[in-house]
Structure 1
Amino acid sequence: MIAHLLVRTAAFALGAALASHAAAQEARTVLPLASDWRFTGEDAPSDAAKPDFADDAWQAVSVPHTWNRVGYYHHDLGGTNTAATVAKKMGVGWYRHRFDAPANLAGRKTWIEFDAASRVAQVWLNGVLLGEHRGGFGRFRLDASAALKPGQSNVLAVRVDNSQPAAGSSTSDVLPLFGDFFVHGGLYRPVRLISTAPLHVDMQDFGGPGLYANTAAVQGGDAQVHVRLRLTNDGAKAAAASARIALIDRDGKVAAQATVKQALGVKATQEVAADLTVPGAHLWQGVVDPYLYRLRAEVLGADGKVSDTVEQNFGIRTMRFDADKGFFLNDKPYVLHGVGYHQDRDGKGWAISPADVEEDVATMREMGVNSIRLTHYQHGQVIHDLADRYGFVLWDEVPLVSAWTMMGKMEPDPALVANVRQQLSELIHQNYNHAATAIWSIANEVDFGNSLPAFVRGGTDGKTPDPMPLLHELQALAKAQDPSRPTALATCCEGRLFGADVAIPETAVAADLGGANRYFGWYFGKEQDLGPALDQLHAKRPAQPLSVTEYGAGGALTIHTDNVLGGAPDSRGAAQPEEYESYIHETALAQIAARPYLYASWLWNSFDFATTVRTEGDAQDINTKGLVAYDHKTRKDAWYFYKANWSDAPTIRITGRRYATRAYGITDVKVYSNAQSTELLLNGRSLGKREGCAQMVCVWPAVTLDAGENRLVARGIRHGAAVEDQITWTLSPEKRGHIAIDTGALVAAKSKTRLLGSDNWFEGGEVASLDKPADYGRKAELARIEGTQERDAIATYRKGDFAYHIPAPAGRYKLTLWFPAVAGQAKGGFDVRANGKSILRAFEPAAPAADAAAVARSFDVTSKGQIDLEFKAGAAPARISLIELDAQ
């Protein structure tokens, strides 16, 4: 029976509190097990668990550790991994560690605590099997009391297996089964030995602290805090225990306290509870004022001595989600704008340090982030503690991603259901006390239906399992374990336009809150489709709060475009320019900000991350949608777009600095600026000022660059502080008189003989290609094109009825038009006019005998500052692959 006591605030002397805290520190000891480990990346013989096993030949490592290094760029701008240094092996690794146990641990309880081991771990101490943990993300503890040798040397052995799940494999029932991220192996979070007295706070409650609190109510300035404490008696006799529970403010003063008594039988665990009333409670107010108390529970025996203590940071706050008005923190509207976050980084994989996470959080704070979606698995305590401290609101997620059965099965195996239940329980118990944690997510993108992507497809004979039974079970489990927080899940596919043969399950109804992963303008649709799609979801379920849980685009540091509308991006291939990523975020944020019913938005992603299902952009095995590169230092232009919009700090960023060698002598200059007025200078000449720029995006159109070096400086003042940015572009002298437009191309083709620019200065038409694009697991199929050394440029083209208005300095030019001709093409011609005069009538590029060919025609034209070309369809659509202008 739960003992329950309501106690108003009582003040006891600070000295007594400190004394009792000191006693508790003696009652519980923690021994970090970080250095002097031995590791082998192979499966060792069965006697590797024995204390006398010879491990001298194994590698000396420290923990945290992972054997994996995944993902690299084809350049040196954003990371140190290379093709030679990556290590993608998935399978078994072994760790061994010798440590001396203090003699005073005799007669006490001891546990080996792992903050994570990926993804299945078996643990031996002194040759005794302590147990196994299945799941790569949650903390777990194994009772080492019987195997430990106090006052002697001890040997800890751990076998870890991060094999990719497959039917019949050792990890077939351990989530995630699949995912667009790499699951690193190893002991990638800290390990420690914990010792307590026999009478202690429960250590075997899904890795949780055994102490749990939530804000029950805030009214009239006072707060009601409900506290639960799990007490365990591992002694040989029954115990008369009491628990002293207190909230301590930042000044060390007791804000509220209660004492609860509980009799405990032998080897018994009992939960007790108390309600604390905190007068004049100082609330946790997000990034504005993330005030934290210390929640302390002391366990006392019948003699009144403290036998154990647990402390947790705790923030008093209320949160609610409204389907029409969004998110409320402490009953006040609070706009959540955030990022998705993966825990790996270049050169370290998942074995990151607290300093690494602190750096990531600092990068987010500087950008103006106030919320993080912790995807797609349980993250460590460091990020949670930092979120509490800095006021981030968190979405926590269980690793149910895309698939929940092995290939061909219509129902999940019971062992897999048990595993996801275990991982959800660990997620909730271990993060229950964090003020930052707002949402428990029970799944991500389990609504593909029969449109499964290639990396999870196969063996289903067109049938797909129903996710709803499992989602309903997880919903019930989450609400039972924490009724104070809402559940959510993220969907990918509902509301999109698919073929008639595609069936998409409606999964959003399984959770309290909705979340939409939508990549309009990238994987599907048009960039302006996002807002209307969200409106449709909101109208369909008007009572369910809705958020945007993912949106974005790839952004390659070394790939650039002159016009983001000049061609189609290639979400599976190379055409992923940095400028297009910025464009998608600019258009998406405008649509999101215009919809106050959204309770949150999380862009995808804060940092580039490793995934072995991608070969795209300028990288291998990296998802390049991050706003910061894989080194977690190199910031892309889009990062500054959000900083200018979300942060109050003075911000100016001239975009396109990595596109330093310019293809065109006339170009728009775009600056992200939150200054009251922004001035742009080119080689010391002012190009004017901009004020009141929409979304903090200031543009100077059609800037004429100088031959040679172009030093651009943008400057302004915000809140009385001057802010400035400068970059240098180079325009080769010959480009002043030569323009080469790779039409239909978002990214200009590479040429050995000329510098091509991407499609620009067009009006109308559609883009097309003779090549078949890449897809997951499939390379692009390149057409064979005769009659040219510019195969890649000829492959893309613009077609239909369209025009070009090309800015060119006054003078005479040679105009060369390159047309694509395709074998078996429909008969028919089209017309071309230059500056209003016909230069081609009913023109029909000759069809080749091969797959395709390039057909060129040249003309003399005159520019008075602009050359106008018109392409008019006749019996066939007009089409053009390459436009060249050479000054005469």
Structure 2
Amino acid sequence: MGRRPARGLGLLALTIGTALASASPVVAQGAGAETRRSLDLDTGWQFNLVGPYAGDGSLEAPDPGAWQVVAVPHTWNRVGYYLSDPEQHINSADNVEKTQGVGWYYRTFESPRLAGSERTYLEFDAVSRTAEVWVNGRKVGENRNPFGRFRLDVTDALRMGGANELYVKVDNTQPAEGNSTAEVLPMTGDFFVRGGIYRPVRLIVAPPVHFDLLDHGGPGVYASTASIAPGAARLNLSARIANSSPKRAELAMVASLIADDGHVVGSQRSAIIVPPGETAEIAGEMALDAPRLWNGVDDPYLHTLRFDLFDESGALIDRIDQPFGVREMRIDPERGFFLNGRPHQLRGAGFHQDTEASDWAVAPGEVERSMQIMRDMGANSVRLAHYQHGAPVHEIADRMGMVLWDEIGLVTAWTNAPDQVELPGAILANARQQLLDLVHQNYNHASVAVWGIANEVDFGPGRPDFLGRPPEVIADPMPLLENLAALSRELDPLRPVVLANCCEERGMQDVPVVAEAVDAVGANRYFGWYYGAPDQLGEHLDTLRAKHPDIPLSVSEYGAGGAPNMHSDNPLGGPIDMGGRTQPEEFATWFHEENWRELAGRDDLWGIWLWNAFDFGTTVRAEGDAQDINTKGLVTYDREIAKDAYYFYRAVWSDEPTVHVQGRRYVDRAYPVTDIRVNSNAASTGMTVNGAALPAQGDCDQNVCVWRDVRLARGENVVVARARFGEETVEDRVVWQLDAAQEQSFRIDSGTVVAAAAEVQFGSDTFFDGGTAGSTDQRGGRGRQAVTAEIAGTQRRDIVASFREGAFSYRVPTGNGRYRITLTFVEPTQAAGARIFDVTAEGDQTLLRVDVAQRAGGTLRAVTESFETVVADGVLDLGFVPVTGEAIVSAIEIAPAD
């Protein structure tokens, strides 16, 4: 079983520590002396990608001529690229590398000269998936957690004062029964597990008696806020002390909490005896006098928590400094998340660690930029998905006041063979190792609120095909979850155990109720994207709350794909393609606006995290304008484009002055009349178009101000939104273009959310009331090829392949005058006589008893009808009235009759 970092201690430590607890602190002799030394091993590496194992399971030897010089952090993988604007991006089809297999790293280093019985450790912040390490031909250890820090004592393998050879064998093979990584959690998810030494490596020299460096990659010293009272607080403390010397060590430990002005807020002194060659634990409590609290983004105040270790002569022999925030967190099932006794609903986004520039080998500066982008949006929290992230994001979150959801890499699957029902003991051990590492390495961070033990393990037989063949029978996840939950509570009784589920009460069969395994739960729900409609989300959450009234509920994922250079005139004009290319930016904006409508004001939710902060790499998607990228990010993979939905949240979550005109990248406009939508958190927002002022708007619904039916001019149109915030004026300016051919014409590609290309510009379906969108084509996506219909009688196949059908009308803001209307019809499936309808213009019956199949002589043949009408009230009213079956239209063209 695991050990509680903040509470575990041995009887010997308790006896002596209690006897000396009231003694005066030891005065350090040589307190400024360096107690540890560290050498970064970042350059001078060579790398050789061997590739996958051979078919017989053997490993081919590295090619002697294939070594290349690299710097660490390093990954050999590069995943995901955009199809549009390739010159602006790093990744392309030519430089992606998705090999999963074995890579070798090699370098030499000079061994530091050791004094006395000093010990030397290699510290790897993460290697994926597995690592085996040799020093001077001697195997010194291995690690099978792709995401956690590990250390190896290499003292006995070193050549002192000379050159040393270091080899690291790295294997990121996808786990499968009987293969090289079968003992690692398989992580069957919508992301890609890279290979490499993708976080920093260093050499550490420590005194023979030191705070334990082999404590699951943690600092060896731990603290937690046990209680807060007015003007006071109390900390729980513990430490592990390793004695590698040949004699017993009589020691004193002094823990101090130091404010940034240098004064000591509290201190605690303990004594301990550690036998030679052993490791012992010591624990205690520290009373604090009027500490300044860590208060999230409002005041992320950090003290320095210092642990000093003294030998029997009073000499300082080891020191650990940890940034530490004094705070108290709790979750209430009815009132949500509390920070220091006050309601503090968590709002933010999920976050994968990869970027286009560095993939998984991200530098701290890149992490800081990503965190700052989320903070600028108004987020106060981040869900670190779906595995343990590195030290930088935790340190930055501490400084920014961003509350974190940490979790291990237990995603969707937990067995390696199809239909395997017995959980392998090795995988259970790996899951426990990942949790032990996660908790020990991040225990002292004020920002960490919860420990996540799983994501979407309740898919069961309903698992989507793109994650692998859905098994007919699966192992029950509850024993594994209950085991991990018990371990988490043992390690850290103060932080809740959580998980994210996907499927409870979603109408799927054989869904395990995994929420019952944890203290609080997150719901990953995609109403309006993968299923249903956004307005169903609230009722669904009410159902979950009623079913589990004692389990705090959050929304841990919701989102939609959005390509920032794919645009729609109406996000509801036709179907999007959740697994394919049709994913306009405007639909993602609408999705987030409507989902937030359901979530805003729900104080019972302890947290709300949208999915995802940034587009990220995967290998199961070909969608939007990208390949192998999940496009649900509010910001692009390269962190360069914040999509319109980002500014929606900035306007409703942040107090920072925000004015943002939506649709800035939809430059070449299809229609001469458009709505202008502006995200603004100002009391009043003004608008000018080409210098002409429109009426100001205030009290806008969800801080989205809309100017309806604004007419654009031929050529350049300058749109400026402006608002005052106290003495500050904030404005946003966009420029749209309207071609001469669009100035007075309306060409509508009916039934589409993104208009197809033609010799003249069409817009996507809009101005309609009623009806449903359809297509003659069968959509592709999720690995399926699209099937396009052959349509005779037209040069605009892609335009007329879609349609609107039912009983519907169009109200088009043409302005007054005589117009010529051309309608194109295609009958997709019905025989003559099965579909008959009338068409009205301005209330007059213009086309009577239209039978498309009869007029065309069959299905999938385009026919057109033209007529003229006079518009007197500024809006052309076209009606499609069923007589038999449903009315239908594929394209509408409206132009002045002259």
With normalisation by structure 2, the TM-score equals: 0.94
How far did 1:262 drift?
Answer: 1.3
**For the Cα contact (< 8 Å) 2:439–2:491, is it kept in 1?**
yes
Decide which moves more: 423-432 or 859-868: 859-868
Runs of 5+ unmatched residues, structure 2? 1-9, 55-61
| Structure 1 residue 672 corresponds to structure 2 residue 689 | no
- SS of the aligned residue for 1:524 comes to coil
Listed as ranges, the matches of 1:544-583 within 5 Å are: 544-583=551-590
- SS of the aligned residue for 1:373 comes to strand
**For the Cα contact (< 8 Å) 2:458–2:512, is it kept in 1?**
yes
**For the Cα contact (< 8 Å) 1:201–1:210, is it kept in 2?**
yes
Where does residue 760 of structure 2 map in the other structure? 754
Listed as ranges, the matches of 1:96-245 within 5 Å are: 96-104=106-114, 107-245=117-255
Decide which moves more: 398-407 or 35-44: 35-44
Amino acid at match of 2:110: D
Q: Distance in 1 between matches of 2:52 and 2:176?
A: 22
Listed as ranges, the matches of 1:120-519 within 5 Å are: 120-406=130-416, 407-458=418-469, 460=471, 462-498=472-508, 502-519=509-526
Q: Distance in 1 between matches of 2:716 and 2:683?
A: 29
**For the Cα contact (< 8 Å) 1:674–1:718, is it kept in 2?**
no
Q: Distance in 1 between matches of 2:310 and 2:320?
A: 12
- SS of the aligned residue for 2:606 comes to strand
Amino acid at match of 2:839: V
Amino acid at match of 1:631: D
Distance change in 2, residues 1:519/1:825 (3 Å) = farther
Listed as ranges, the matches of 1:620-631 within 5 Å are: 620-631=627-638
- SS of the aligned residue for 1:803 comes to strand
How far did 1:379 drift?
Answer: 0.3
**For the Cα contact (< 8 Å) 2:21–2:270, is it kept in 1?**
no
Distance change in 2, residues 1:389/1:79 (3 Å) = same
Q: Distance in 2 between matches of 1:347 and 1:91?
A: 22
Where does residue 37 of structure 2 map in the other structure? 29
How far did 1:335 drift?
Answer: 2.2
Where does residue 876 of structure 2 map in the other structure? 867
Where does residue 804 of structure 2 map in the other structure? 798
Distance change in 2, residues 1:84/1:9 (3 Å) = farther
Amino acid at match of 1:695: Q
Q: Distance in 2 between matches of 1:261 and 1:701?
A: 74
Where does residue 777 of structure 1 map in the other structure? 783
**For the Cα contact (< 8 Å) 1:454–1:777, is it kept in 2?**
no
- SS of the aligned residue for 1:789 comes to coil
Q: Distance in 1 between matches of 2:525 and 2:24?
A: 53
User: Deviations along 1:143-172, whole A, 9 cap, x unmatched?
Assistant: 101101221111111011111222322122
Q: Distance in 2 between matches of 1:519 and 1:393?
A: 24
**For the Cα contact (< 8 Å) 1:8–1:277, is it kept in 2?**
no
Q: Distance in 1 between matches of 2:734 and 2:31?
A: 56
Task: Report the RMSD for the aligned CA atoms in angstroms.
Answer: 2.1
- SS of the aligned residue for 1:364 comes to helix
Where does residue 638 of structure 1 map in the other structure? 645
Where does residue 725 of structure 2 map in the other structure? 718
Q: Distance in 1 between matches of 2:715 and 2:768?
A: 27
Q: Distance in 1 between matches of 2:561 and 2:829?
A: 34
How far did 1:412 drift?
Answer: 2.1
- SS of the aligned residue for 2:269 comes to strand
Where does residue 49 of structure 1 map in the other structure? none
- SS of the aligned residue for 2:660 comes to strand
User: Deviations along 1:859-887, whole A, 9 cap, x unmatched?
Assistant: 22222222111112222111111111122
Where does residue 793 of structure 2 map in the other structure? 787
Distance change in 2, residues 1:833/1:21 (3 Å) = farther
How far did 1:387 drift?
Answer: 0.5
Q: Distance in 1 between matches of 2:663 and 2:470?
A: 46
Runs of 5+ unmatched residues, structure 1? 47-52
- SS of the aligned residue for 2:108 comes to strand
Q: Distance in 1 between matches of 2:744 and 2:257?
A: 74
Amino acid at match of 2:889: I
**For the Cα contact (< 8 Å) 1:200–1:231, is it kept in 2?**
yes
User: Deviations along 1:525-569, whole A, 9 cap, x unmatched?
Assistant: 012111111111111111111111011111101100111121122
User: Deviations along 1:372-428, whole A, 9 cap, x unmatched?
Assistant: 000000000000000001100000011111111122211221111111111011111
Q: Distance in 1 between matches of 2:787 and 2:835?
A: 27
Distance change in 2, residues 1:54/1:238 (3 Å) = farther
**For the Cα contact (< 8 Å) 1:296–1:312, is it kept in 2?**
yes
How far did 1:191 drift?
Answer: 0.2
Amino acid at match of 2:456: E
Listed as ranges, the matches of 1:36-55 within 5 Å are: 36-42=44-50
**For the Cα contact (< 8 Å) 2:748–2:892, is it kept in 1?**
yes
User: Deviations along 1:474-526, whole A, 9 cap, x unmatched?
Assistant: 1111111111100111111112234xxx3322111111001011111111101
Amino acid at match of 2:880: F
| Structure 1 residue 590 corresponds to structure 2 residue 600 | no
**For the Cα contact (< 8 Å) 1:763–1:803, is it kept in 2?**
yes
Match of 2:774 among 768, 777, 780: 768
**For the Cα contact (< 8 Å) 2:243–2:249, is it kept in 1?**
yes
How far did 1:804 drift?
Answer: 0.7
Q: Distance in 2 between matches of 1:10 and 1:840?
A: 100
Match of 1:822 among 825, 828, 834: 828
Match of 1:93 among 103, 113, 126: 103
- SS of the aligned residue for 1:701 comes to strand
Q: Distance in 2 between matches of 1:353 and 1:839?
A: 66
Amino acid at match of 1:285: N
- SS of the aligned residue for 1:808 comes to coil
Q: Distance in 1 between matches of 2:727 and 2:574?
A: 42
Distance change in 2, residues 1:798/1:359 (3 Å) = same
- SS of the aligned residue for 1:620 comes to strand
**For the Cα contact (< 8 Å) 1:408–1:458, is it kept in 2?**
no
**For the Cα contact (< 8 Å) 1:834–1:870, is it kept in 2?**
yes
Q: Distance in 2 between matches of 1:533 and 1:188?
A: 40
Where does residue 887 of structure 1 map in the other structure? 896
User: Deviations along 1:278-311, whole A, 9 cap, x unmatched?
Assistant: 0111111001111111112122222322222222
**For the Cα contact (< 8 Å) 2:306–2:322, is it kept in 1?**
yes
Where does residue 82 of structure 2 map in the other structure? 73
- How many residue pairs were aligned? 872
Amino acid at match of 2:380: N
Distance change in 2, residues 1:100/1:240 (3 Å) = same
Q: Distance in 2 between matches of 1:442 and 1:825?
A: 57
With normalisation by structure 1, the TM-score equals: 0.95
Amino acid at match of 2:807: D
How far did 1:691 drift?
Answer: 1.1
- SS of the aligned residue for 2:117 comes to coil
Where does residue 50 of structure 1 map in the other structure? none
